[in-house]
């Protein structure tokens, strides 16, 4: 049986967040999780991804920097991106919206219902475009 689930890449330096999102979405989506932006860039070389979700504050590279790298290498793939964070600089988040296809910003701690609703809305934007 072929897997027709849309694929989400989630980049976060906290394993607990990766596990939580995976447990929430695994029935509807194929979830790929990585602990570093570099792992995310490597995964994108060989894996078709429909949605990127990234944390903003990570040790080696911010979420905005990660989206900038993704945009340089894969400017239209995936077409939609979500960022989560408990910490953010408004200017950098604005830059991600304007230049790197960021569709939504969700503050941590997450409201699970709102997070899932936002993910579904962004995925539906992809399907309808």
Strands 51-55 and 80-85: parallel
Number of domain units in the chain: 1
The reported pLDDT for the residue numbered 101 is: 86
User: Does residue 40 form part of some domain?
Assistant: yes
pLDDT in tens, 31-74: 999 999 999 999 999 999 999 999 999 999 999 999 999 999 98
* CATH code of residue 50: 3.40.50.2300
User: Does residue 129 form part of some domain?
Assistant: no
- Closest by CA position to 109, among listed 5, 42, 17, 35: 17
User: Does residue 28 form part of some domain?
Assistant: yes
Could you tell me if 58 and 13 are in contact, meaning their C-beta atoms sit under 8 angstroms apart? yes
User: Does residue 2 form part of some domain?
Assistant: no
Mean pLDDT calculated for residue range 12-41: 96
Q: Which domain does 24 fall in, by range? A: 7-124
The reported pLDDT for the residue numbered 77 is: 80
Which of 3-7, 41-45, 83-87 shows the highest mean pLDDT? 41-45
This prediction has a pTM of 0.90
Q: Euclidean distance between the first and final Cα of the chain, in Å?
A: 27
Question: pLDDT higher for 87 or 66?
Answer: 66
pLDDT band at 1 (very low <50, low <70, confident <90, very high): very low
Q: Is residue 2 over pLDDT 60?
A: no
């Amino acid at each position: 049986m072929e897997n027709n689930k849309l694929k989400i890449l989630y980049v976060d330096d906290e394993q607990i967040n990766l596990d939580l999102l995976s447990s929430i979405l695994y029935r509807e989506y194929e979830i790929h999780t990585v602990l570093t932006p570099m792992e995310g860039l490597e995964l994108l070389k060989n894996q078709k991804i429909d949605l990127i979700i990234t944390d903003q504050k990570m040790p080696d590279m911010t979420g905005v920097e990660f989206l900038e790298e993704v945009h340089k290498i894969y400017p239209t793939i995936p077409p939609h991106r979500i960022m989560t964070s408990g910490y953010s600089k408004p200017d950098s988040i604005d830059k991600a919206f304007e230049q790197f296809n960021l569709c939504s910003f969700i503050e941590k701690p997450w409201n699970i219902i709102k997070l899932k609703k936002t993910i579904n809305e962004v995925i539906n934007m992809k399907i309808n475009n």
